[in-house]
Amino acid sequence: MSVIPTLDSANPFADVWSTPFGAPPFASIRPEHFRPAYDAALTLNRAEIDAIATNPEPPTFANVIEAMERAGSAVDRISSVFWNLSGTMSDEPIREIERDLSPILSRHDSAIMLDPRLFARIDAVFKGRHAAGLDAEQLRLVERTHKSFTRAGAALGEAERTRLAEINERLATLGTAFSQNVLKDEGDFILLLENDDDLAGLTKDFLSGAAALAADRGHTGKHAVSLSRGAVEDFLTNSTRRDLREKLLNAFLMRGESGGPTDNRAIIAETLALRHERARLTGYKTYADYKLDDTMAGDTAAVYELMESVWRPGRLAALRDRERLQALARDEGGNFALAGHDWRHYAEKLRRADHAIDDGELRPYFELDRMIEAAFFVANKLFGLVFEERHDIETYHPDVRVFEARDANGEHVALFLGDYFARPSKHGGAWMSAFRRQRKFNGEQRPIIVNVLNISKPSPGAPALLSIGEAGTLFHEFGHALHGMLSNVTYETLSGTAVSSDFVELPSQLYEHWLMTREVLTRFARHHATGAPLPDDLIDRLRAARKFNQGFATVEFCSSAFVDMDAHMSENVPDPMALEVATLARIENPAEIPMRHRTPHFGHVFAGEGYAAGYYSYLWSAVLDADAFAAFEETGDVFNPDVAKKLRENIYAAGNLRDPREAYTRFRGRLPSVEPLLRGRGFV
């Protein structure tokens, strides 16, 4: 069966895939296949949209809204593969295609979203929706579709629509350039450790991965550190070489601000100006007002109120910790003022003193395979899912693992791909994405979900041992994955993670809580060599230490969130770096705690628009997740089946069927309180 009739049959995107579960045939897909596939699919999609827009029949839910749900499936299938590979297997051929495609796809999307003929029919269905006999999900789909078109500017005049299309195209080009610049800065840099003195303080497991990286970069017999966040944080924590810590942190903080061809500062200034112009064209005072109009928070006042309520006690806690860390450094003979490259190093020493916990002591108990099993175990206890590894399904890289998820009745639920190790072709950070999203309309479709992490790969034969932070990231991204896998809606537009940006982090951040439960630690935190469980007293100390260094974590995050909001609240930002400095001064950010994401490499905000004027979402969701986990704790059973059932039905499986406030209230019986978050961080 041909998917794109005009495409050469030798192109793997031309036909339905006969692979197990219809997974992408990665071994057959080459870079040269994408452009002809896109050209044919975009032509087909334009014809589909034109047919909807010019249909002589009166507009109805079926011939407008459902017809749009069917349209574009060929483009979506190509995009799901291409954009996932551009994030995980980015080489120059892929990057070149990405640069070429970004403006083309933007023009295509704008032509649809700004088509006055199409919008007239959508608007007619919207106005008659209450008399059309639609069910709740159909009504929600009509309203979400109409809102997306009005926010895009579909109701504006021709001149405004033309300008919006130009802005969208330019922003797509800028976002691609920003992302590729950061990737190049990350991929080009290594800190080469030349001799034994350079290795002081580093753990055996870290050195295993550092040796493998050095060999991969042509420095066999030496050690190297990349700019992946996990490697940087590990080095800053354990290395006793203050000069090397400073060198590595400076390189990490200066990504995208080199002054050379990968410098992102001009890109950021233009991006902010264009976003502001687009917001004004669509009737909003600032881009932040535009973005927050379609979120759970609702407006900028609510966001700033939340950030201030957490920032104030978090900053005070960080200042108290700073004095203790400075005293510790002084007691060791350190005749220097504490700096950003010192905080993690001395905080780890303080954690050992306060809680008798050593990161090096913990890592052997948090082996990657066992943490994957732990994440699967929690999904089974909460939702009845069972995961089985499959070796008969093609992947895009040898490191990628594939698992089939089945329900309690043995029925197929989803495919899950885990891509855990860092490599130069992979963007930094961690994320969840989909090669296919769930739907029931237009043919039952089960999801294919991928988690991408950047764990340092050990040398051959050595175990991959995780820090507590890395294990938390694994659970976090798997929470996102479950949001995609458990989706149970009719229409793909409302499926899985297609929710507001300040609600999408609830399923992921909530899932992190189960990692630190006694039930999970006792069962899965086992020594990689001996199989011995994490000692009970160490579990007690680990759980007691959850509030440790929360001032640092809060300041590190909130400083980035404040800069993001201030930038998008401003009408003119000719110098983004000056704005960053001004914001940090306004909030009195402790100089010893750098922003988690400085502006020149703030990919959440400038490599696309997902978290633009929205980085606060992690904090908003932190309020939700602390309150949601308390629902389990209040029963005395962190796997309480009744609470888990409500969680699945109203959060993980519900997609965007309801307004997020309604969805949360259906689960919890009320809206959330900030108290569990402040209590969990030790601020009250």
Instruction: Report the catalytic residues.
Output: 477
H or E stretch covering 454: strand 448-455
Question: d(Cα 324, Cα 552) in Å, to the nearest integer?
Answer: 13
Question: d(Cα 403, Cα 391) in Å, to the nearest integer?
Answer: 9
What sign does the dihedral 658-659-662-667 (CA atoms) show? positive
Question: d(Cα 619, Cα 602) in Å, to the nearest integer?
Answer: 17
What is the CB-side half-sphere exposure of residue 677 using CA atoms within 13 A? 24
Question: d(Cα 654, Cα 494) in Å, to the nearest integer?
Answer: 8
The encoded tokens of residue 168 equal 């969208």
Question: d(Cα 403, Cα 392) in Å, to the nearest integer?
Answer: 10
Burial class (CB in 10 A: 0-12, 13-18, 19+), 534: buried
Whether the Cβ atoms of residue 199 and residue 240 lie closer than 8 Å to each other: no
The phi-psi region of residue 21 (left if phi > 0; otherwise alpha if psi is between -120 and 50; otherwise beta) is: left
What sign does the dihedral 420-423-425-426 (CA atoms) show? positive
- Tally of residues, the chain: 684
Question: d(Cα 587, Cα 307) in Å, to the nearest integer?
Answer: 11
The encoded tokens of residue 565 equal 């909001």
Whether the Cβ atoms of residue 297 and residue 502 lie closer than 8 Å to each other: yes
Q: What angle do CA 82, 86, 91 make, to 5 degrees?
A: 120
Whether the Cβ atoms of residue 576 and residue 270 lie closer than 8 Å to each other: no
What's the order of all strands across the beta sheet hosting 386-390? Answer: 386-390, 401-406, 412-421, 448-455, 431-436
The phi-psi region of residue 590 (left if phi > 0; otherwise alpha if psi is between -120 and 50; otherwise beta) is: beta
DSSP 651: I
Q: H helices then E strands: how many in the chain?
A: 27, 7
Alpha helix locations (H) across 436-528? 468-485, 506-515, 518-524
Strand 431-436 with 448-455, pairing: antiparallel
Whether the Cβ atoms of residue 473 and residue 423 lie closer than 8 Å to each other: no
DSSP 363: G
**Nearest to residue 672, comparing CAs of 641, 651, 653, 652?**
651
The encoded tokens of residue 30 equal 């080459």
Contacts of 160 (CB under 8 A, 6+ apart): 153, 281
* Residue given tokens 């994490």 in the structure block: 534
Contacts of 135 (CB under 8 A, 6+ apart): none
Whether the Cβ atoms of residue 304 and residue 641 lie closer than 8 Å to each other: no
DSSP-derived secondary structure for 45-93: HHHHHHHHHT--SPP-IIIIIIHHHHTTHHHHHHHHHHHHHHHHS--HH
Burial class (CB in 10 A: 0-12, 13-18, 19+), 634: exposed
**Nearest to residue 263, comparing CAs of 175, 178, 174?**
178
